[in-house]
Structure 1
Amino acid sequence: MSVPAFWLRRGVLAGMAFPLAQLFGALARWRRRALRPQRLPVPVIVVGNIAVGGSGKTPVVDWLVGVLRARGWHPGIVSRGHGGRIEGVAAVPAEGDPALYGDEPVLLARLTGCPLVIGRDRPAAARELLRLHPGCDVIVADDGMQHYRLGRDLEVAVVDEATLGNRLLLPAGPLREPLSRLAEVDLVIAHGPLAAATRAAAGAVPVFDMHLQGGSLEAVAAPGRTRPVAELRGCRVHAVAGIGRPQRFFEQLAGDGIEPVPHPFPDHHRFTPADLDFGDALPILMTAKDAVKCRPFAPEDCWEYPVRAQIGSGAAERILEKLEDGRTTA
């Protein structure tokens, strides 16, 4: 998403908004104390962040589901369904319409094959998930850190230094919660290098590094038709990204030796055929989150660039240890 320029520095506009940021912080603290968490009969792992904008939560949720399954758990996912039109709660089919259910939930349903329920009311979504899938024994809450009505057993904070900006609370800066919140979670996953001050803010909470690794390209209009990324090294391509931080996608392509012609769009953008009409024969590359929305009208030479989270050694073990300690003491 595009953020105000004054969120990047502590200038005059940020200073003018600072009293509102103090009020926001006070209201957030009051809300957190006032809300009574609703506990569920299975453990809940929240994956979230403290700042507005993309930090890489979706690949982390995909990674976490794989970790849990490998240990014998049966995970389900709850999500907000941002960008969709569903009111109330609803199960998301893997081939669901992103305009109806939201792009990220549909992508996660396709990536993970997990049962997934969306809803603004996260506890209600979680209860519906358990009703529909009684075999589910752990719930992963996508982007649920500030939804304190949903009780949680573990919190995973995903942090991208570039989204922290001037480190002030909304509306003076991009933070939903103060940096000190990182010291209260169970682990921090750092998407890219973190400043020393950010690592220090986490205190004794372990910080694990993450990078996204690309795989083979997949034709957006014809899933199953693939080509190696290496075929496009040294080539110019139209790079389409309607995600929280489009620049990261463009940089990743450049790191693979591809010359991107950047086309950034707002986060959760609803694409139309005209958005992909660039008037030439260059290939089009886009993120998986955008591909789920463009599949019905994508040109033949339009390719999804899938990525998987590679997370530092020890992160999975810490999550499983905490989760299984809770299982034995319950």
Structure 2
Amino acid sequence: MSGQPTKFLVPLLLPISWLFAGLVAIRRALYQHGFYKQETLPVPVIVVGNVMVGGVGKTPITMALVNHLKAQGLRVGVLSRGYGRKTSSTLAVSPSSQSQNVGDEPLLIARSCQVPVFVGNSRVDAGRALLSLYPDVQVLVCDDGLQHWPLARDLELCVFDERGVGNGHLLPAGPLREAWPRKALRHATSGQEVPCLVLRTAGIAGPHEFAVQRHLADFAVQANGAKRSLSSWWDTPVQALAGIAKPEKFFAMLREQGLNVTHSQALPDHADLQNLHIDTAQGDVLCTEKDAVKLWAHHPQAWAVPLQTTLPTELLAAIDFHLAAAQHAKLSSPHGHQTA
């Protein structure tokens, strides 16, 4: 879904788009100038988000970032709203959580990255709850939430895909949630501009953007941990399903790996898979990891194919630089966070 209307509708929708833009700008200004309180947590916060509607690949980037920070010896926690969950309270996410309670993406992060994950409509409340239970956490990564102004952040990663900024208009005349390019935020405590690094998961990266490489792994896994090479299916028809923003991309990537996908089910993003019917006569089922955290409860025989995301060295160096500066600022403040 592009989130962009046909060119004939754009002129009709522009007045609503201008009104929306004004409301977004006013709300942001109210936080920036202190009329609404922006809460600062005692550890650095990195927000991975987007200004485009629809999926752009934030969660795989969040997971790659968390794994990088862990490799640096840092203790990491993750915050999320838990989009699509049927609960509204602030909750801890464990590998055994139910996706309908915490959301499919937070559950995937908890299982894959093995770090503390909390969901909450208020990222501030989720962050405080996480730090209360895990006081040794040194950095928080927020999966989505670029427009969640109540939470002060120390670094932003803004993700784009091949659509770029579309027609450049805000909703509903275009696909943008806020104007781009955007004026830099100022940190609630220091008053310094919050760095915003721009990532692109598809298409051609611009001169000030970081190109993120993504490809399917050459293997698939089952709920019991069994692992199988994709090449073992080359001579066998398989079926595929995907409940992600762009399911056809997943199917295309499977075919690029040489698989004969004879049947595919393109489901809505974050689709509830509890009552999904699967005809095993169509062949083995291949799905994304995001689908697997929901599907395995009812179809443990399904095979999940991991999406491997590689963050460029230059991006990781920039993240490390800004994070070190944020950690120094936090420790220098009167309320600096002490770690074990």
TM-score normalised according to structure 2 size: 0.87
- Could you say what secondary structure the match of 1:179 adopts? coil
Question: Within the alignment, does 1:21 sit opposite 2:17 as a pair?
Answer: yes
Name the counterpart of 1:315.
315
Q: CA 1:308 to 1:191, structure 2 compared with 1: closer, same or farther past 3 Å?
A: same
- The 2-side partners of 1:183 and 1:55 are apart by 21
Aligned to 2:177: 176
- Per-residue deviation, 1:189: 1.5
SS at match of 1:12: coil
Instruction: Note the alpha carbon deviations across 1:2-46, whole angstroms, 9 max, x for none.
Output: 455xx165x111221111111111111111111232111110000
Deviation at 1:250, TM superposition (A): 1.6
2:27 paired residue number: 31
Alpha carbons 2:48, 2:142 under 8 Å: kept: yes
* Other-structure match for 2:327: 327
Is this contact kept in 2: 1:50–1:175, CA < 8 A?
Answer: yes
- Measured in 2, the distance between the counterparts of 1:307 and 1:81 equals 20
Aligned to 2:215: 213
Match of 2:190 in 1: none
For residues 255 and 210 of structure 2, what CA distance do their matches in structure 1 show?
25
**Aligned residue for 2:148?**
147
- Give, in whole Å, the separation in 2 of the partners of 1:208 and 1:259: 33
User: Aligned-pair distance for 1:213?
Assistant: 2.8
Distance 2:121 2:148 in 1: 9
Report matched runs for 1:190-209 at 5 Å.
Answer: 190-194=200-204, 199=206, 206-209=208-211
- Counterpart Cα distance in 2 of 1:23 and 1:310: 39
Q: Retained in 2: the 8 A contact 1:75–1:136?
A: yes
CA distance in 2, matches of 1:31, 1:123: 18
Please list, as runs of the form range in 1=range in 2, the aligned pairs for 1:230-269 lying within 5 A after superposition: 230-233=231-234, 235-260=236-261, 261-269=263-271
Task: Give the Cα separation in 2 of the matches to 1:172 and 1:246.
Answer: 25
User: How many angstroms does 1:168 deviate by?
Assistant: 1.9
Residue 327 of structure 1: how far off its partner (Å): 2.2
Give the equivalent residue in structure 2 for 1:203: none
1:85 and 1:99 in contact (8 A); partners too: yes
Deviates more, 1:129-138 or 1:79-88: 79-88
Q: Which position in structure 2 is the counterpart of 1:186?
A: 196
Question: RMSD of aligned C-alpha atoms?
Answer: 2.0
Cα 1:83–1:95, aligned 2, differ >3 Å: closer, same or farther? same
Q: Which residue matches 2:305?
A: 305
Change (3 A) 1:241 1:110: same
The question of 1:272 aligning with 2:268 is answered no
Shift of 1:234: 5.5
With 184-193 and 46-55 compared, the bigger mean Cα shift is at: 184-193
Distance 1:236 1:166, change over 3 A: farther
% same residue: 36
Residue identity opposite 2:220 in structure 1: L
The amino acid across from 1:211 in the alignment is Q
Q: TM-score, normalised by structure 1?
A: 0.89
Matched AA of 1:318: A
Q: What is the CA deviation profile of residues 170-205 of structure 1, one whole-angstrom value per residue up to 9, with x for unaligned ones? A: 11122112231397752112101137xxx37xxxxx
3-state SS in 2 of match to 1:250: helix
C-alpha change, 1:234 and 1:207, in structure 2 (3 Å) is: farther
- Return the alpha-carbon distance in structure 1 between the equivalents of residues 42 and 115 of structure 2: 19
Bigger helix share? 1
| 1:78 counterpart SS class | strand
Distance 1:119 1:140 in 2: 14
Q: Are 1:24 and 1:169, in contact at CA under 8 Å, matched by a contact in 2?
A: yes
Unaligned runs of 5+ in 1: 201-205
- State the one-letter code of the partner of 2:180: L
Aligned residues: 314
Contact 1:8 1:165 in 2 (8 A): no
For 2:134 and 2:202, the matched residues in 1 are separated by 36
Contact 1:53–1:245 at 8 Å: present in 2 too? Answer: no
Q: 1:279 to 1:62 in 2, by over 3 A?
A: closer
The separation in 2 between residues aligned to 1:90 and 1:254, in whole angstroms, is 39
Return the letter of the residue paired with 1:210.
V
- The AA in structure 2 aligned to 1:326 is A
